[in-house]
Chains A and B, each alone.
Chain A
């Protein structure tokens, strides 16, 4: 594989990063609620924001909005802007309304938005007040999902970071904590692999039920399942946990590297490790190979969206032979990507932040074979003759682990297969 050749260089570990700022065509952190509320089954997310926030959630959630979702917006109105005391009373009333309607809720998140933060509505204080009022039935926490503070997946980071102080303190015995929302099917696969390796006990953050938080303490080793968890990792480290550096579990190579980080920490013998992972890795490689013909040699351009761009580019370059031209990410966390950056091809341009018009100029000039971008840009670029893969699907679809590696490759192959198939 071409991977070995690029590995001998330092990859992109020391490459300069193009930092831009200007218009950013990205979602805010509120959108994280859409997958977080599916995962934490007894939590409710109450955004304190404007009609724009409600409209964003409605547009991003699509038909999910009709399925009695466990999120809503307390829309700030003109009279709430008059005085802060009034706004707090109003918030208490709305929270009462929500909890009366949804007695199954055990945890309520007050989610800050741009408007609530600009008017300096103190949601942390409101959460403490409401927590006292509704204890012990409902725990009330607060975090920010605003556009001024968070970009897209950073909303998950902010939510998980708010959960960390709630985690019980652990005994001294070592335990593995996997941080980051994974689809349940993926979580179950990972749990089986850890069991087979003898790594454990294993806890997942977030848990499926809000009150079943895993414990944390000096014995805890943290494996990040997602690359966008800077705050969560910091909060876990503050509680004594230690981060295990690893590539992210995308593709055969990434998944093996991710599992290995835990296996090594637990002193699993190499032979045992191979025994447990060989089958999955082989299945993944076979599934990926089916898409190699379509993708190998094709150039690739990432616009920033989710922070998944760097691990995805690594997977597509090394396991499918694609050529990343520019890899844009909203935020580049060097420490968490330490195992990824050396694996990237050296000639790829790394960019952090965005000035969307300038970036599109670069994209058009490069004429990549495939552009990964958001839904606001995808159709316009298709109309210009560029094949695109819309990126949001990558946070809603199970893509991590061995058994999703083929599906992940297919997500990128499908737009190219489709373009080849259409004759009109």
Chain B
């Protein structure tokens, strides 16, 4: 499946990101990618699919989620979706969620940046993390 390319938008804002080179034909619905994502989610109790990494988030929304997890002082892993087009598109199918970042706790999809912020503010995020850490 070919995605529409909007390279000009990518230059304007780091949050915009689209598929890579035109000659790089990628199977976005690949079962192998879904298996890789499932394995990542299963192996890491606290996992963020994000743009960039925790030292250098490449999008404000990804940066916010990292800041919150740092604030809570919990160990977590990140996957940089910018490094792999299949993961970037595949994780959206995996969770049926249209945007990055995506937070997973104990194999369960929690939500995107807005949800993480709101759960953090109400204290529910720490509760859920403690449950994830205990199991």
On whether the two chains bind one another, the answer is no
A contact residues vs B (CB 8 Å cutoff): none
Which B residues contact A (CB, under 8 angstroms)?
none
